[in-house]
Chains A and B, each alone.
Chain A
Amino acid sequence: MVRNLHATVDGTEILKGLNLEVKAGEIHAIMGLNGSGKSTFSKVLAGHPDYEVTTGDIQFQGKDLLELEPHERATAGIFLAFQYPLEIPGVSNRDFLRVAYNAHRKGQGEDEIDVFDFDDLIEEKLDVVKMDASFLDRSVNEGFSGGEKKRNEILQMALLEPILAILDETDSGLDIDALKTVAGGVNQLANPDNAVVLITHYQRLLNYIQPDYVHVMADGRIITTGDKSLAHDLEARGYEWIMDEHRAEVTA
């Protein structure tokens, strides 16, 4: 539940009163033009230090999310699939995934699992994203292609089993096969107890993942909300008409 969220970066206001409620079992898509604040919203949810929340609040499962450090948000069940996943030279994907997984277990008051049990678990998750085991022994994202990086994000999501997954333009620039893999991963994960927010530029992803709601963002706010057909309208007619309608509403 997000209420009247305002956020700035370097003193410039990007989010200007954003409201959104996501319930368990739902899939939401947030669409909008570049600069509408979609990515900022995802980073604010994850707690990126460059973004300052000036007004508003975010409730997540009864907790005040803004009070939590980024790693606490993650272990509480929030997962952000990055638009541009970072390369971490020298840290193997396997170690990274194990450390992250154990951090989650610790956060939930469970014991860490050992290397061997982890290896069994991760092999199983690799199937979800159709990744080869050799990926595990390479440095995190180093030298990965764009599609490999995005699949690695979905692998992390599959491993960490978040309550709320936010996918920030995970579909941008993906070829059809990679897109299907990514969508398949999301569909496998989605269940009545968790929720997914898809931030996207393109309607194409929504052919593979069925959203319950489609929101349109402009100028730091959600200006309209509809069902899946709204995405089709946007694809067919562009954003201009909806912006015009919105402006008319504001004027009226």
Chain B
Amino acid sequence: MTRSVSENVVAPMARGTEQRDTYLKGLIQTVKGGVPADLALPELRSRAEALLKEQTFPHTRQEDWRFTDLSPMLDIAFACADGPQGDTTDIEARRLPETAGAQVVVVNGQVSPELSQLGGLPQGAIVGSLRDLQNHPIWSEKLVQRLGQASGHHDVFTALNTVGFQDAVVVWLPPSGVMETPLQILYGAEAADTPVLAQPRCLVVAETSSALTLIEDYWGHASTAYFTNAVTEIWLEANAQITHSRLQREGSGTFHMAKTVVTQARDSQYIGTAVDFGARLSRHNWEIYQTGEQTTTKLYGLGAITASQRADTHSLVALSHPYGTVDQVHKAIVDDKAHSVFNGRMVVAQAAQETNASQLNRNLLLSDKARIDTKPQLEIVADNVKCAHGATVSQLQADEIFYLQSRGISAPQAQRLLIYAFAMEMLETIPVATLRSRLTKILAQWTGA
């Protein structure tokens, strides 16, 4: 049984254009004030600032933000967060045994060389901080050609990040460089007594035929106001392969805005899994741009939210070359008064013949007050392609629960089993065993198992 669900939308408080313009200007000034003197990057940052001048702070009358109301942010004046404060208990608990020697720690948007543990990289590969690498005779020039150059850089939060990021993680694999150890990037949010913002930034370049397993883990505990504005740019050159797990488990007071932009050259393969458990409000723009033929793209998303959480995933797969394969599955579990949004856009241009794409969005509603908005958005110009899509919204089925009960399993246990089964399909796509089992435990706690 499926049904579409809608509920009366609470009209956003009347906010004038002027107030939003002023708020965005204030954010720009704040993040500019936090730019370290040794990371001026004047060309890149001034271009981003110019792009922001033409925009306002997003509001629900814009199609892209229809279901995600950011107006609560307008009441909060965020200041730039400080770097690491010293308590590393949380960080230690999150290191994975599989990533030993390949861990980068970022706290409040600033890379911490002390907390990072790096060794055993393939020859010619670098993993490090932009502040260290920007003056390097070879790297400085290479970096300029990539950093901030991916499509979609004009988006308001992406541009804001570019104007003010305080450091960036740089990962660069040389041709045929295979990183055997998965790379784990830990992004910690350390809240302060007053509202703060942090802008983590990451640049990954995988040159021809290189391979990498990448884990990005955003976490925090703060129930007080915190604003994460993260951008990760990933470049796959010809025949490169990246498996990417992105976890968002931020604190209940956090606004998490994020962009993951992946540019795929011919014959490359990108497999991504994005998990959203945390934050008060999260928005993940996950964008894939194909620049060559026969690319493989797999996108797996899982959101599990409750209370008054909001989780919004906007994905875009833009295909402009033939023989591309796309497999996308996005699942959301929504309890209590939470609200989940999925907008899955696929653009198949005239030149992208023989594309084989599928998109499936499945949603599980656990409460009468929970809300789901889902929109597949397929724009297909090419005429010789396969593009399947589907979206379902359902509740736990009473008959399934009764079947389990009739085998001795109590109703609450049966519900947990069904929710767990729904979600596990996505967690199973994560290639690192310890991470998979930790997330499975979080999920089990979440479902109360």
Among A78-86, A121-129, A185-193, A200-208, the stretch that binds chain B is A78-86
- Indicate if A100 sits at the interface (CB-CB under 8 A): yes
Asked whether B421 is an interface residue with its Cβ less than 8 Å from the other chain, the reply is: yes
Give the docked Cα–Cα distance between A49 and B409 (Å): 15
Complex Cα spacing A107 to B414, Å = 16
CB distance from A59 to the nearest CB of B (A): 20
Within 8 Å CB of B400, what residues of A? 86, 88
List, in ascending order, chain B residues with CB within 8 A of A69's CB: 405, 410-411
Chain A nearest CB from B412 CB (Å) reads 10
Q: Which residues 307-330 in B have Cβ within 8 Å of A in the complex?
A: none
> Does B417 make an interface contact (CB < 8 A)?
yes
> Beyond A70-B402, A86-B403, is A100–B410 a contact (Cβ under 8 Å)?
no
Q: Does B399 contact A (CB under 8 A)?
A: yes
Specify the chain A residue showing the minimal Cβ separation from B422: A90
Q: For residues 404 through 418 of chain B, which have their beta carbon under 8 Å from a beta carbon of chain A?
A: 404-411, 413-414, 417-418
Rounded to whole angstroms, the CA-CA distance of A104 and B410 in the bound complex is 11
Complex alpha-carbon distance, A70 and B408, angstroms = 7
Residue in chain B with minimal CB distance to A76:
B408
Q: Is the CB of B403 within 8 A of A85?
A: yes
Bound-state CA distance A99–B407 (Å) is 9
Q: How far is the CA of A24 from the CA of B289 in the complex (A)?
A: 69
B443, chain A: closest CB distance, angstroms: 12
For the side of the interface on B, what is the size category?
20 to 34
**What band does the interface of chain A fall in when counting residues whose beta carbon is under 8 Å from B?**
20 to 34
Task: Report whether B409 and A99 are in contact in the complex, using a CB–CB cutoff of 8 Å.
Answer: yes
Are B402 and A160 interface neighbours, CB within 8 A?
no
Partner of B409, one of A46, A79, A85, A100: A100
A70-B402, A86-B400, A88-B400 known; A103+B407 contact, CB < 8 A: yes
In angstroms, how far is the closest chain A Cβ from the Cβ of B199? 38
Tell me which of B397, B403, B407 has the highest count of chain A C-beta atoms within 10 A of its own C-beta: B407
Partner of B405, one of A47, A85, A88, A96: A47
Question: Cα distance A160–B406 when bound, in Å?
Answer: 11
A181 at the interface (CB under 8 A from B): no
Chain A residues lying within 8 Å of B406, measured Cβ to Cβ, are 46-47, 70-71, 73-74, 79-80, 82
Does B141 sit within 8 A of A, measured CB to CB?
A: no
Contact of B417 among A49, A75, A85, A91 (CB under 8 A): A91
A130 at the interface (CB under 8 A from B): no
Contact A90 B421 (CB under 8 A): yes
Taking CB as reference atom, which chain B residue is nearest A159? B407
Q: Is A89 an interface residue (CB 8 A)?
A: yes
Contacts of B417 in A (CB 8 A): 91, 96, 99
Contact among A73, A74, A90 with B424 in the assembled complex (CB-CB below 8 Å): A90
Interface centre among A70, A99, A156 (most CB of B within 10 A): A70
B384 to chain A, nearest CB (A): 31
Tell me if B138 is interfacial: C-beta within 8 Å of chain A: no
| Minimum Cβ distance to chain A for residue B427 (Å) | 11
- CB of A246 within 8 A of chain B? no
Judge whether B408 and A103 touch: CB under 8 Å. yes
For the complex, what is the distance from the CA of A142 to the CA of B26, rounded to whole Å? Answer: 55
Alpha-carbon separation in the docked complex, A88 to B403 (Å): 9
A85 and B399 CA atoms in complex are apart in Å by 10
In the complex, what's the smallest C-beta–C-beta distance from A93 to chain B, in angstroms?
12
A46 to B409, CA, bound (A): 13
Interface string of B81-101 (1 = CB under 8 A from A): 000000000000000000000
- Chain B min CB distance to A103 (Å): 4
Residues in chain B near residue A90, CB distance under 8 A: 418, 420-422, 424-425
Which of A47, A71, A91, A104 has the most chain B CB atoms closer than 10 A to its own CB?
A71
Q: Is A63 an interface residue (CB 8 A)?
A: no
Q: Is the CB of B425 within 8 A of A71?
A: no
Interface positions, chain A 86-120, Cβ under 8 Å from B, are 86, 88-91, 96, 99-100, 103-104, 107
Asked if A160 contacts B407 (CB within 8 A), the reply is yes
Q: Which residues of B contact A23 (CB under 8 A)?
A: none
A189 to B416, CA, bound (A): 31
A80 to B418, CA, bound (A): 20
Complex Cα distance A156/B414, Å?
A: 17
Write out, one digit per residue, whether chain A residues 146-162 have a CB within 8 A of any chain B CB (1) or not (0). Answer: 00000000001000100
> Are A91 and B418 in contact, with the CB atoms below 8 A?
yes
CB distance from A75 to the nearest CB of B (A): 5
**9 further interface pairs, Cβ-Cβ under 8 Å (given A46-B402, A90-B420):** A70-B411, A71-B414, A80-B406, A88-B404, A90-B418, A90-B424, A96-B407, A99-B413, A100-B409
Give the interface of B toward A (CB within 8 A).
397-400, 402-411, 413-414, 417-418, 420-422, 424-425
Q: What are 20 A-to-B residue pairs whose CB atoms are below 8 Å? A: A46-B402, A49-B398, A49-B402, A69-B410, A70-B411, A71-B410, A74-B406, A74-B409, A75-B408, A82-B403, A82-B406, A85-B403, A88-B403, A90-B418, A91-B417, A96-B407, A99-B409, A100-B408, A139-B421, A156-B407
